[in-house]
Amino acid sequence: MKQLLIIGLLISFLTGCTKEDKCMDSGTITGLDPRDCMCCGGWFIEIRDTMRRFDQVPADCVIDFNTITYPLKVKLDWKKKDTLCLGDEIRVTRMEQEK
């Protein structure tokens, strides 16, 4: 049993993200969330066939969200928010337009 645990940890370590761009997920920003509710707003983004939503853009992001056209393909690092309201909220830590 210990051997399986060690092998699992080793595989996780070797395939885990580094600071290189290869760890960024592909996503498609499909548009603004126009709903008017306490938990609404931000942008809809599809990541791995799942629609999610983010409401803040990372400070170092150079995408001009005032002029983009949808859909927009991006690369991003993200994680689920700690406190969920509707259940689809994520926090984007890094984002760039896909080339």
* 71 pLDDT more than 60: yes
pLDDT of res. 18 = 46
Q: At 71, list the tokens.
A: 């859909």
pTM confidence score: 0.75
* 5 pLDDT more than 60: no
Where are the chain's structural domains? Answer: 20-97
Residues 6+ apart with CB under 8 A from 31: 43, 44, 70, 71
Which one has a higher pLDDT value, 19 or 83?
83
Level-2 CATH architecture, domain 20-97: Beta Barrel (2.40)
Q: What are the pLDDT digits (tens) for 13-34?
A: 444 454 444 579 999 999 999 9
pLDDT of res. 83 = 86
| Residue type at 60 in one-letter notation | D
Looking at every residue in the chain, the average pLDDT score rounds to 84
